[in-house]
Amino acid sequence: MAGLLSGLEQFGLSNLEGMDLYDAPKKAEEGEGGEAAAHVVQEQDFLFDKSFTCPLCDREFKARTVKIGKAKLAGSDLDLRPKYEQIDLLKYDVIMCPSCGYAALSRFFKYLTSPQAKNIQKAISANFKPQKDTAETYTYEEALERYKMALANAIVKQTKASEKAYICLKTAWLLRGQAEHLDPAEEGYEEKKKQCQDEEDEFLRNALEGFLAARQTESFPMCGMDEPTVDFLISVTAMRFEQYDVASRLITGLITSKTANPRMKEKARDVKEMLMKKIKEKNAAARK
């Protein structure tokens, strides 16, 4: 898992950068708007400061949060990454306490058991450097650091494989968004784009590993997703990394599923066509 948690030294947590992701756990208001005609929509217009109470240290803090219903969905990628107009919502889905370093995706933030809290206090809070969060918006670099903090917390608190896989998936999506927003005219553009793509692949591989493990040991819904959705995500990701046997098995099961909705089945049929084409191309190349 080398590289997944790189960059945490700024939080005083360089000792966590080499942790194993899927190690088996050890026993033991909105504001008022201005004139519509004169106002140019900016990223901060979609955000507000929401108050949170940290379940670990009990301190109150504010974090930049997207206004409900403000952003308009523009579409999605094949692996279901949502894309919104004028803002990347993924940048704001990690909540991090600036005092103790506890961080998690928003859907998981308030859920913390006593043993998990002790683990985080010992491995993270004891070395964490308190942060000042005064930015109106987060850059992709800042958002990536927050995702890595969420992943470090998830590993330390020995959470379910599905939660760690979901963090990896959303981090990969974030890196894809970062690559799309790079300026081609900027010096080092190709190098930065390749770095984003390489990191995206690394996080996607770990997401695939985690979801495959979770599918065998956990019940649904999983991170808010039903079984057809998880199977679709696994299939698309497995296809990306040429794990065609895994992709074929799950996508075929999805097409014949009694619980998948018609829209999901239609997506699955499209993926099956892509998959068959890729398998044919690989077989043809092998015969040469």
pLDDT digits over 20-75, tens only? Answer: 788 765 554 444 454 445 568 899 999 999 999 999 999 999 999 999 999 999 99
Quote the tokens at residue 24: 């088996």
pLDDT at position 40: 82
**Complete DSSP assignment for 28-52:** ---PPP--TTTPPP-GGGGEEEEEE
Query: Span 215-221, mean pLDDT?
Result: 96
User: Please, what is the angle between helix 161-180 and helix 140-156, to 10°?
Assistant: 170
96-148 pLDDT, tens per residue? Answer: 999 999 999 999 999 999 999 999 999 999 999 998 877 899 999 999 999 99
Percent of the chain with pLDDT over 90: 81
Angle at 145 between CA 143 and CA 147, to 5 degrees: 70
pLDDT-wise least confident of 11-15, 112-116, 253-257, 259-263: 11-15
| 5 CB-near residues (< 8 Å, 6+ apart) | 16, 17, 18, 19, 148, 151, 152
pLDDT at position 18: 76
User: Please, what is the angle between helix 227-240 and helix 189-217, to 10°?
Assistant: 140
pLDDT at position 30: 45
User: Which is more confident, 83 or 7?
Assistant: 83
Q: Is 111 helix (H, G, I), strand (E, B) or coil?
A: coil
How remote is the C-alpha of 206 from its chain's centroid? Answer: 11
Cα 206 from Cα 18, distance rounded (Å): 14
pLDDT at position 2: 56
pLDDT at position 21: 80
185-212 pLDDT, tens per residue? Answer: 999 999 999 999 999 999 999 999 999 9
234-255 pLDDT, tens per residue? Answer: 999 999 999 999 999 999 999 9
Cα 261 from Cα 257, distance rounded (Å): 9
At residue 130, what are phi and psi to the nearest 5 degrees?
A: -55, 145
pLDDT at position 100: 97
How remote is the C-alpha of 161 from its chain's centroid? Answer: 13
pLDDT at position 263: 95
The predicted model scores a pTM of 0.87
